[in-house]
Structure 1
Amino acid sequence: MTSDEDRWMLAELMRIPGVRFCLVFAVDGILMSKTAGIDTDSAQRIAAACSGQLSLAIAVNKEVGFQGPFLQNFSRWSDGYVFVRRAADKTSLAVVTSGTADPSLIAHAMAERIQRIGEPALSTPGRTPAGA
């Protein structure tokens, strides 16, 4: 994902009522981009945690026998939500909201922006192991 693409997508998501901040991260939990409203250290920890959340969801997917690819997961607390959506091969988008956010609006907005940008532009290239 280029910086222009993620800035555009994240800026549009930030305009939705209740959105606190957004992250784009690689499947291995590496932070790729973030919005204002969260410091880099916290964003890196949240990206890593969301990557773990996705791993758990994918493991459940295999065990319950769903055939399609994983698309989205969200967690709810009394005062907010964390939405995590697959954006492309090896790339995901997380949106953290207040409790006043409309979950269906957030889910739809995430899917729509990802579709508009397109999977090839959002994909994270593979990493070369250190020392290789």
Structure 2
Amino acid sequence: MSKDLTWLMTSLIEQTPGVVEALLLSADGLKVTCDGQLDTDAADQMAAVCSGLVALGEGFEAHCAAGRLRSLTVALSDRQVVVMEAGDGTILAVLADAEADTGAIGAAMVQLIERVRRHLNIPVRTAPTPTP
């Protein structure tokens, strides 16, 4: 994966009305990159929470036999979070104003992912094998 994808997160915010933060994370909940607005602690916490959301969504996927998880939206009183798979082992998450158009946000996220998907894959981490 390319080292600096901050510009992607910044462009998503600048080009999508209502989006205030954007974050790319690994499926196991580690921050890969985010826009310049998020401090390190907030980005790490958001990455962990969004990874958990995807895990919950995948639980419904298995329980309902309704196909693969495409996206999740969490509506809060003042904000909303939209989360979707961005590549193998990668998740894209945005925080937006409560009244922002989730359809437009989702479309912008899909467009970004389609443009740069080959740069967004993260190999699955494995535990190191102990040496005798």
TM-score (norm 1): 0.89
**CA drift at 1:131:** 5.6
One-letter amino acid matched to 2:76: W
CA distance in 2: counterparts of 1:60 and 1:100, whole angstroms: 26
How big is each residue's C-alpha offset from its partner over 1:89-114, in whole Å with a ceiling of 9 and x where there is no partner?
Answer: 11000000112321111000000110
Q: Which runs of 4+ in 1 moved over 4 A?
A: none
Look up the match of 1:123: 121
Residue 6 of structure 2 contacts residue 36 of structure 2 at CA under 8 Å; is this kept in 1?
no
**CA drift at 1:8:** 3.5
How big is each residue's C-alpha offset from its partner over 1:13-50, in whole Å with a ceiling of 9 and x where there is no partner?
Answer: 11122111111000100111011222111110110011
Look up the match of 2:59: 59
What runs of 5+ residues in structure 2 fail to find an aligned partner? none
What runs of 5+ residues in structure 1 fail to find an aligned partner? none
CA distance in 1: counterparts of 2:64 and 2:124, whole angstroms: 29
Q: What root-mean-square deviation, in Å, do the aligned CA atoms of Structure 1 and Structure 2 show?
A: 1.5
CA distance in 2: counterparts of 1:38 and 1:8, whole angstroms: 13
What is the aligned residue count? 129
Residue 25 of structure 2 contacts residue 90 of structure 2 at CA under 8 Å; is this kept in 1?
yes
TM-score (norm 2): 0.89
Residue 17 of structure 2 contacts residue 100 of structure 2 at CA under 8 Å; is this kept in 1?
yes
The 5-angstrom pairing of residues 1-132 of structure 1 reads 1-4=1-4, 6-15=5-14, 16-67=16-67, 69-118=68-117, 120-130=118-128, 132=130
Identity value in percent: 32
CA distance in 2: counterparts of 1:109 and 1:31, whole angstroms: 21
Do the aligned partners of residues 128 and 65 (structure 1) sit closer, same or farther apart at CA in structure 2, a change above 3 Å counting? closer
